[in-house]
Structure 1
Amino acid sequence: MTDSALVVGGTRFIGRHVVEDLLDNGYEVTIFNRGNHDNPFSGNDDVARVEGDRTNDTDLRAAALSVKPDIVVDCVAYRPADVEAAVEIFSDVDGYVYVSSGSAYAAEEIPKREGETELCGCTPEQAEDDSMDSYGARKAEGDRIVDRAAKDGVNVMSVRPCIVYGPHDYTERMDYWLDRVLNYDRVVVPGDGQHVWHRAYVEDVASALRIVAEEGDPGEAYNVGDRRLVTIEEMVDLVADAADTECDVVRASERELSTGGLSTSDFVLYREYPHVLGTAKLAALGWDSTPLSEAMARTLAEHRESDRDGSEHDPGREAEERVIGVLDTV
């Protein structure tokens, strides 16, 4: 008998890839969402859909009763109350996986490890907040709910991705850098180019969620991120290699950026202190990540077919050109 999977979400970025991974691994897949976004599986008879609001417990319970899933992957649990309801509603499934975040970690350690690195606290006010300021706190509280539910005998786990990139990324964070490399032969990189913000290729996040649902231990959290990390400069080089183009990296310090009215914080995917997640625990379940060259090639190929350019993250090319001009005279 074929196993069934319910994906809460399932149409945008991570959820979309989760559905594809589950199909590739022989699951019968149903997605559950409000229908606010285009459904990429609308013409696919292998993917069923149940409409409803995941914040409405009645809707979520109805989906559980109609689908009777073996596993559940919850991509859109943004508040602790969402997780609290889900672990009760799906208390009898073989595996419920909550998509948490590397932002759940409070301590700046290298690397951040499950069960060792301190998590963010979460006040009642943060638990109800919708802003990014409380995002890590809310995700951490969801992790604690997973831990408590497992102690009550529920097969629940969580997965903590770092920054996710890849095809169909509506955040357009990587699209900014892809667009820069494709359109300019000189790309400004903040700082000395050696800063590290751990990233995770989206197809690897999808496979991690499935593997944790199948093989993970109840109550445990699993970090997911590229097994080989690269600096921000090396990331630009990867893009250039994927595009088969030449691109000179122009490193600019805070002082040098200021000549163009810019700051290091104006550049997306830049982080002053390294953010690195340990991934050995997930790898021990049999998971591995896609080679970076392949991951970037697939990301770039889809970017070229899309209309995304990352312009909302653009610090301004004219400002960058002023910085380049100053550096050229040094």
Structure 2
Amino acid sequence: MNLIVLGGTRFLGRHFVEAALARGHAVTIFTRGRIAVPWMGGVRHLVGDRDPATAPGLAALADGSWDAAIDCSGYVPRCVRASAQMLAGHAGRYLFVSSMSAYAEPVVARSDESEPVATLDDPASEDVTAHYGALKAACEREVVAAFGAERATIIRPGLIVGPHDSTDRFGYWVARFAAPALLGDRGEEIVVPAPPERPIQFIDARDLAVWMVVLVERRMAGVYNACSEAGQWTMGDLVDALMDSAQRRGRVPRPVWIDEAALLAAGVAPWTGLPLWIPGNDPAMAGFLEIGCRRAHRAGLALRPLAATVADTLQWLLARDNAGAWQKALTAREERSLVAGR
């Protein structure tokens, strides 16, 4: 197949390109040209801008022809509308990477793709930080409007993790257990949000990327929640995998399970201060890490063992420049205070 990727040099887009090349497909990437292309001569590179108001805009897409377009970098409906309308006559289908955040609150545990999505109070808003989920949902509608439901594939991933993940959410836990020096002066006692049976949910970007290639190969349309299945993993499962990784490096960390009342009283920020932690008493988001993904798994989504994602993330973290990472995570001082007060 001949594929065009909007993005392609960062995280999920990068993994998608590698998966597509490995399966013998021809790949074109469309980027702003600010990041070096990792594949020497292996892909065609078009330069432009997702925002049609910023020259040269989407002009580079006007003359090509592709079997499918893969959009890993769409956040603003106006820009997604422009790319989808431009490509509607140049690509056989459009796969858009949305998000589980597109669902309207409250997020219900084990809900499926039929749940309502968020809407914008101000349809003109382009404030991605404030309205990320509602904007993603609006982007989905633009894709379907341009391509029709039969040529549109909408993927709603949860937390995407693994090598090249610059958000450092999953990476925080890998570093904290197996390579704590990356986080500064840290002791062996590690604050972990109780209880161990707390459900968590994420997906390795490489597994998501391979499955996305399969979807376009099979010309599968529709909406898919794409993550580990609801209830597949708990915080205790993650800690077990992290402990094994740490022990392989000669470390013996000690998890300290802190209940969420103590975490909230100490001012720890959910999701950012302690990644993967959403308080159970949050009525809007309590089900966010337990969304049903059965449809995607029935359509061929397969996940590697958790230990493999931990190991590969660790190797990537050890090799990269970590300056400036984990600025919002729990500090060493805050962690010691929580441990002392337990």
Q: Normalising to structure 2: TM-score of the pair? A: 0.84
Deviations 1:174-233 (A, max 9, x none): 222122112243210123243334211110121232222223543x11111124732233
Give the Cα–Cα distance (whole angstroms) in 2 for the partners of residues 135 and 271 of structure 1.
17
Equivalent residue for 1:221, pick from 220, 223, 238: 223
Give the Cα–Cα distance (whole angstroms) in 1 for the partners of residues 209 and 136 of structure 2.
18
Aligned twin of 1:231: 234
Aligned twin of 1:105: 103
Regions of 4+ moved over 6 Å: none
What letter is aligned with 2:243? A
Aligned twin of 2:158: 162
What letter is aligned with 1:229? Q
Aligned twin of 1:28: 26
1:136 aligns with 2:133: yes
Equivalent residue for 2:274, pick from 253, 267, 272: 267
> After alignment, is 287-296 or 69-78 more displaced?
287-296
**Shift of residue 136, structure 1, vs aligned partner:** 0.2
1:196–1:274 CA contact under 8 A, matched in 2: no
Give the Cα–Cα distance (whole angstroms) in 2 for the partners of residues 84 and 291 of structure 1.
37
Aligned twin of 1:280: 294
Deviations 1:83-115 (A, max 9, x none): 22222222242221111000001142122311x
**Shift of residue 246, structure 1, vs aligned partner:** 3.1
1:307 aligns with 2:321: yes
SS in 1 for 2:233: coil
2:158–2:202 CA contact under 8 A, matched in 1: yes
Deviations 1:144-202 (A, max 9, x none): 23333454x76121111101110011111122212211224321012324333421111
Q: Normalising to structure 1: TM-score of the pair? A: 0.87
Give the Cα–Cα distance (whole angstroms) in 1 for the partners of residues 130 and 211 of structure 2.
27
What letter is aligned with 1:263? V
**Shift of residue 48, structure 1, vs aligned partner:** 1.8
1:196–1:271 CA contact under 8 A, matched in 2: no
Give the Cα–Cα distance (whole angstroms) in 2 for the partners of residues 209 and 178 of structure 1.
26
Distance 1:10 1:257, change over 3 A: same
Unaligned runs of 5+ in 1: none
The percentage of aligned residue pairs carrying the same residue is 28
1:81 aligns with 2:81: no
Give the Cα–Cα distance (whole angstroms) in 1 for the partners of residues 59 and 128 of structure 2.
29
1:320 aligns with 2:321: no
Alignment of 1:179-218 (within 5 A): 179-182=175-178, 183=180, 184-218=187-221
Give the Cα–Cα distance (whole angstroms) in 2 for the partners of residues 258 and 103 of structure 1.
23
Aligned twin of 2:309: 295
1:186–1:247 CA contact under 8 A, matched in 2: yes
**Shift of residue 300, structure 1, vs aligned partner:** 1.7
Give the Cα–Cα distance (whole angstroms) in 1 for the partners of residues 16 and 300 of structure 2.
17
1:30–1:67 CA contact under 8 A, matched in 2: no
Deviations 1:288-319 (A, max 9, x none): 12222222221222122122374213221122
Give the Cα–Cα distance (whole angstroms) in 1 for the partners of residues 232 and 60 of structure 2.
39
> After alignment, is 116-125 or 189-198 more displaced?
189-198
Aligned twin of 2:184: none
SS in 2 for 1:128: coil
For this pair of structures, how many residues does the alignment match? 318
> After alignment, is 266-275 or 19-28 more displaced?
266-275
1:254–1:263 CA contact under 8 A, matched in 2: no
